[in-house]
Amino acid sequence: MKIGILLSRFPFPLEKGDKLRAYHQIKELSKSNEIYLCCLSDKDVRPSHFDELKPYCKEIMVVQLSRLTIIKNLIKGLLFSKLPLQVAYFFKKSAKKPIVNFFRSNKVDHIYCQLIRVSEYVKEVKDIPKTLDYMDVLSKGMERRIEKSKAYLKPFVRIEASRLKKYEHFIFNAFENKTIISEQDRDLIIHAQNSSIEIVRNGVDLAYFSPRRKEKSFDLVFTGNMSYAPNVDGVTFLVEEVLPELWKKSPSATLAIAGASPNAKVQRLAQKNVTVTGWVDDIRDYYACSKVFIAPMQIGTGLQNKLLEAMAMQIPCITSTLANNALKAKDRENIIIANCVDDYVTAITELLENNQLASRIALNGHDFVRHNYDWKSTTNQLEKLFLST
């Protein structure tokens, strides 16, 4: 089968959730299919990044988005269009025909689009069946940001949330198949037929994220792209609200914030017992040298890949109900769930002081992801969906 894949970003390096999902799906799909990959990119793609994808793709096309094009798109989108800005940002009108021609000239049997950001390019294609991966419910993620946004930004965030909700509904019927990561996200898509959206979960590379024995340098670790609003919000809550209460009981408790592109707000969190690393070459080092992984997510949608990775490496994890709704781990069996400052302080203290509990949560968490989050099985499900249309 020839599969055309359209992405809003080049799927390497793997510092963002959408890249991670796309990369592993491409890798698995390429085992029995020809992959024709088309990516938008607002950055130059390094030759070494191309080299990472070449073994899995028959042909790769990159559509470069210049800063000027993006600025024009955002202005037009805000003033003269009803498109969500997340869609307008990635839409280059002059690229629409070349993208469609790329798929047609290669005679692809199916087009797979990741995120509604790219759906404008192929929504009118009728002669090739198409699948849209909503991945997350972007509208709900944006809606959850309204309350925490600065006053002057609230009206714009509210408009974007409304536009995203309408667009998620509108674009539904332009695709034969729709996929999404979790049930909670599927139920938030506003459409009478949202139950037809196929749940295609993420996986975790268990060979790569495997348990390591390493001296513990940190009590706690938080990982992720540190310019992504839900990560910034979660780690700010951790440092400014949870840690001061924890330090009353455990003054020497330490935290590592490990992840790419920490914005100014995250960088300011660095202090005596809090280390902000920025980009690290091997995130496994920070999982392995930390006693507890914590993801106190307050906003956002979708599945937290960071939790899958930490659990795969047998690190006991703490997270919020919001994050666990997608993960579906069992509280105090595979993971510990907390929702307020006191809950987090209690959970952290328990895991740091009770080695037996920490070991049980770590081992059960590893077994949980091994049985439920496998890239091969989830991508096989996706392939069957393509073949059905």
Return the domain boundaries, the chain: 2-203+374-387, 218-372
Binned at pLDDT 50, 70 and 90, residue 236 comes out as very high
Task: Report, at the CATH architecture level, how domain 2-203+374-387 is classified.
Answer: 3-Layer(aba) Sandwich (3.40)
pTM above 0.75, yes or no: yes
pLDDT in tens, 137-162: 999 999 999 988 889 999 999 999 99
In DSSP terms, 3 is beta-bridged to: 35, 110
pLDDT in tens, 249-308: 999 999 999 999 999 999 999 999 999 999 999 999 999 999 999 999 998 777 899 999
CB 54 within 8 A of CB 60: yes
What is the third-level CATH fold of 218-372? Rossmann fold (3.40.50)
pLDDT over threshold 90, residue 364: yes
Q: What is the pLDDT of residue 33?
A: 98
Q: If you search the block for the tokens 């017992």, which residue do you land on?
A: 273
The counts of H helices and E strands in the chain are 17, 13
Q: Tell me if 2-203+374-387 shares its fold with 218-372.
A: yes
Nearest to 87 by CA among 62, 120, 113, 112: 120
